[in-house]
Structure 1
């Protein structure tokens, strides 16, 4: 097994690139599909029937629902001993979790995006 891993080592970068590109394509396809099913008019219609209290409650419940994954990323980066700022971790965690919740794919999006944002080069990536 060790010999096999040693022989595959030169392919490591290519496999990582192919994996990330595949995840990116899946996310784009899923977001395009989502955009086709949700229009601004339908969103406005759905939200216009809600009171301000219901909207506020939805925001609070949404923040509570996402907070475990935000803390997960803070703990993950502490365990990996990265030098990313807390604001960067929270921003990327929010983006990763939002896209993962929309696109899903049983965690593949989650893994791919976290790999992209918290890669080995240790540099914060914008946008």
Structure 2
């Protein structure tokens, strides 16, 4: 299942990228800039390990050591690529960490944690929706913002409150983790903007990114392929940013937050599977 999810999602992502376009953008970067983007791209996934630690702790599953952290990191990379509003992540979390406990309890806990993983997006998106400026964002973007605000934020609030299995301090930790996670994602776009000297206004970039990310999650498309790209391009276009400029930004974001971390995650899962098979063969 893991290979199928990754393959399908990567095909969708690769359709948004071409070798020639990647080469053109990378030619503008130094080795240090590429390393900075790669480091931040991998680092942006790291806060999500907290979700799995809380999940494992609630189910009394061991969650210490580099092996757990790397497996969790890889799982969340695949979740980012697969998308589907966190549903894939909930399924993978149960498949990898909840197999040896009560299925109903494990599935319910995974679902609750997946809801919290979107809270950071909801908070940032709510702020961006409320602070829309007519001179920066199109009327279309504005109207869609409030529509998706109703779709994404309002359902999350009552669902998040109905989590008696999670105490308030744990909820606060999950909430802060999600906020940090989404800020780290935005940080990749922000760093790409700085590295490429695009000079896109910070406020415009913030609004455009979180509006597009929310729309991408609502679309349930793997990796938000297409919906996120089109939305970000259009909102930035109405703010005076040329499509070619937006394309350069998207290439770096896709490459360093999705493609390269996914390759690393796949290598890890192959090594993990090989190790499991070898262990069974030696018994």
TM-score (norm 2): 0.31
Structure 2 residues without counterparts, runs of 5 or longer: 102-268, 274-283
Quote the residue 2:140 is aligned against: none
Matched, 1:77 2:56: yes
Cα distance in structure 2, aligned partners of 1:107 and 1:24: 18
Contact 1:73 1:89 (C-alpha < 8 Å) held by counterparts: no
Cα distance in structure 2, aligned partners of 1:108 and 1:102: 12
Tell me the CA shift for residue 27 of structure 1: 5.0
Give the alignment partner of residue 35 of structure 1, picking from 1, 11, 14: 14
Tell me the CA shift for residue 92 of structure 1: 1.9
Quote the residue 2:85 is aligned against: 106
Give the alignment partner of residue 59 of structure 1, picking from 27, 38, 58: 38
TM-score (norm 1): 0.61
Deviations 1:67-112 (A, max 9, x none): 2102222232223211355323212222222112222110011111
Contact 1:74 1:86 (C-alpha < 8 Å) held by counterparts: no
Tell me the CA shift for residue 50 of structure 1: 1.0
Quote the residue 1:47 is aligned against: 26
